[in-house]
Amino acid sequence: MSQIAKLTIVTVAGPGDEALVLRNIEYIHRKNPEASYHIHVLDNGRFHGFPELELKLPNVTVHTGEPSDYRKPDACRGSYQHATALNRFLREQEIDTRYLMILDPDFYVVRDNWITDALQHMAEAGLWFMGVPWHPKWYSKHRYFPCVHCMFVDLSVIKPNELDFTPDLIVRGQKADRRNGVAKEFEKKSITAGNGEVVFVPRNWMPVLWEIVRTALQELCHCYAEARQPIPRGLKLTIRAVQHATKIKSRMRAVAVRMVGMTLNRRIIGAANDTGYLVEKLYASQRERLEIMPPSVSLERDFSKPEFLTKAWGRKIESLVPDRWSYIPKMPGYFTEMRFKSFGLPNTTKLGWEEFFWGNLPWGVHMRRYNKSNRDVNAETVLLNDLLGR
């Protein structure tokens, strides 16, 4: 690393991230022509069948990342791999700059000369941490603390080996998933019946009872049809009653989903111990040494779950809930209603990207590519070109 570098930037490149990393580095160079920094890219993608990254750019070093631990569940394996790569770098590499920045490959800082401005502000304000938090719609994540999407750290106070980004998602994540909505009727695991058919294991006896009743009634009707006999009135009434009960059950389930969202799901607020939660747990009490860059939030648009938050009456109820159990963070200034488009920038929220502000001006955007269904890669490319071309 260059001895004159004032900022160490670390980014973890996952599978297929090469183009995003390259564009981000070029964008950083363009936005910070006078700044002193060095970028370290931890290449995790090579362990997923992708070619090794070769970035022959000034102030850039590529490191071998960490292999994926296939003993971990699929849903959280990437988080563990990401955290392990960060932890190993921080413990094995000698970092000779005062400030460290953890940056996701798909997080683009849009402000001119942002490195100089951010480091100067941290020094003048005596900040240990500064960065963007999890967007409030991810209510199971920790809040009121910078996350690894974009996080600055003052290493003159916080030593690199004190930063542990290891998540704890295996047990707690499973519990959170089961609490996130009404419990599914069937477990994900399955067994093989004697005839070789794969059947699902029910969580309780009610689905089994309903299936037996429906099947028995269908068989009775089939018997009368084969005998060319009219179906008895009592059997017809029973079938109608079961059908009616099924409709009632569906309506009750819809009510239950809403009630779970308003009550039981609150148990998982802040409970998903994702990457960086240990850092938050250790330093969150140092409020005067932290600064959050507010996300842009539309309560009507962003909170698709729980659904009642999109309604005026739902937000009114939520305003009465204590902060610890509220889906909506109560800290003043934690989020803003401002939009990039008000500053002449593209409307990135139309693709579900997350916008962040600093000092009432646009700071950066997170593409949020993972775990999104119906991604339009072409639309993402067009929007990113528009954003980076400004």
What pLDDT does residue 243 have? 77
* pLDDT for residue 190: 44
- Cα 250 → chain centroid: 30
Pairing of strands 290-292, 129-131: parallel
**366: amino acid identity, one letter:** H
* pLDDT, mean of each 10-residue run, the chain (390 residues): 72 94 97 96 94 91 94 88 97 95 98 97 97 95 96 97 92 44 39 46 56 76 85 84 72 64 77 93 95 94 82 87 91 96 95 96 90 77 91
Q: What is the pLDDT of residue 211?
A: 67
Burial class (CB in 10 A: 0-12, 13-18, 19+), 53: buried
Task: Decide: residue 50, CB within 10 A, 0-12 exposed, 13-18 middle, 19+ buried.
Answer: middle
Please name each of the domains of the chain with its CATH number: 7-169+272-296+335-388 (3.90.550.10), 179-267 (no CATH)
Q: Report the pLDDT value the prediction gives residue 373, as an integer from 0 to 100.
A: 59
- Determine the pLDDT at residue 370: 63
The structure tokens listed for 194 are: 């004697």
Using DSSP, state whether 7 is helix, strand or coil: strand
What pLDDT does 274 receive? Answer: 93
**What's the N-to-C CA distance of the chain in angstroms?**
31
